[in-house]
Structure 1
């Protein structure tokens, strides 16, 4: 059972994970966060009694053998070059485009390096987290925060990670739909409530049913009906294929960093 965990980097993802962990600590007695983002760190410490703010990154690393790297790729080299880590550390890295080989080069004494891709929804215990390689500590921490999906190779991790880039476009699509409804005389608040509920229900259907997405699309599209028409129009416009092209570009960016 994990009793103490530390976070290097105190941004949005750290805030979400700490919020989720603190809500159901399951044996966790202490969560240590770095002070770089003072406002977020202080807020977490004030809200959750088990959260403590370290003096600096090294202080957090000295206190915790399970250490989460929640830093931007642009500053990863500088931050890691200043840290003294040893074989007792287990590093869970959220550094988006850094593979294990690149991480290991800057942490040569660390025996366990695991890549993860937690999402903001873990704050509500609703988020999927990709894990590579399969690691019992990472799975113990993140499975209760939604779903922990362990993969066998780094290419699989990067492919799934590329899919996380769909989040922004998903909300952008909902915004376009909400504005369309607003133009038809629907109050934006009502449009937002309706669309959020609609897509939440569809996501729940996908989670609880075992059919392929193609089969569900067919089931939810009456022949000659409105859903069939909408899908056909989007396909003719190339809207669905455009998402594949965008994902390919994201994947290439991940692999080439």
Structure 2
């Protein structure tokens, strides 16, 4: 990738993306610039990856083709006010914050600007993220592919309509928390039956990882894969029955429903 990529905000997501880019593209560190409210954090990126730390957000804007806003949502307004006069019509602004719509960002500019809204999850920290992207009408297919390449370095990507991003928040961005709770509960059950906790976490996490890969790599329906394990009068169907009695699926669906509703309420609040 020959584009110059800028990051405004030097948090964990930015760190993961920079690491992914450097792992995938040779010498790309020469084309990466980063700023942060405290320069010392940007300097860490230079020490770890050899990228260019900048002392101001405007310095990043002036040097880059693609700018990722990797700050917390509550400072987006301040950052956009600061940089709006310096954004060129050929630059691409990439938002990663929940609750910040394309319309919200567009309203800061007097002229049309290229904007891509994304929603990712914390699994990018291990290169297994799932990122949804929505471009505005100013972004060409070629430019969108450039942005996709950035996020492909830290996992899988999908281009969707903006109206579906609130669902992405609950099914992908927030769902790792539900899965962690499930793994913890599995491990607690193992501990209850006498297994050491560290080993219980290992078995539970590997089981969930393997089950996810079975769905992704075989293309089989989750119900079909479940049926393959549930022998007649066996131990697995007994456990499935207990989960169904306690509204396991309904609880998850309800959690998704309230998470999506909360995401919609937060948009541009």
Provide the TM-score with structure 1 as the length reference.
0.90
- 1:70-104 residue CA offsets vs partner (Å, 9 max, x unmatched): 12222211221111322122011101111111111
Report the secondary structure of 2:107's partner residue: helix
Provide the TM-score with structure 2 as the length reference.
0.86
- Distance in 1 (CA, whole Å) between partners of 2:94 and 2:33 is 14
Report the secondary structure of 1:95's partner residue: coil
1:145 to 151, 154, 162: 154
Alignment of 1:119-130 (within 5 A): 119-130=121-132
Residue 160 of structure 1 corresponds to which residue in structure 2?
168
Residue 204 of structure 1 corresponds to which residue in structure 2?
213
- 1:43-89 residue CA offsets vs partner (Å, 9 max, x unmatched): 2211112x121111111111112000112222211221111322122
Deviation, structure 1 residue 115: 0.9
- Distance in 1 (CA, whole Å) between partners of 2:225 and 2:40 is 45
In terms of mean alpha carbon deviation, does 205-214 or 110-119 score higher? 110-119
Residue 224 of structure 2 corresponds to which residue in structure 1?
215
Residue 91 of structure 1 corresponds to which residue in structure 2?
93
- 1:225-249 residue CA offsets vs partner (Å, 9 max, x unmatched): 2222222222221222111111111
Equivalenced residues, count: 255
Residue 78 of structure 2 corresponds to which residue in structure 1?
78
Partners of 1:16 and 1:120 within 8 A in 2 = no
2:117 maps to 1:115: yes
Alignment of 1:1-257 (within 5 A): 1-25=1-25, 28=28, 29-36=30-37, 38=39, 40-49=41-50, 51-83=51-83, 84=85, 85-109=87-111, 111-133=113-135, 135-151=144-160, 153-163=161-171, 164-256=173-265, 257=267
Unaligned runs of 5+ in 2: 136-140
The 1:105–1:233 alpha-carbon spacing in structure 2 relative to 1, beyond 3 Å, is same
- Distance in 1 (CA, whole Å) between partners of 2:63 and 2:56 is 11
Unaligned runs of 5+ in 1: none
Deviation, structure 1 residue 158: 2.5
- Distance in 2 (CA, whole Å) between partners of 1:199 and 1:103 is 38
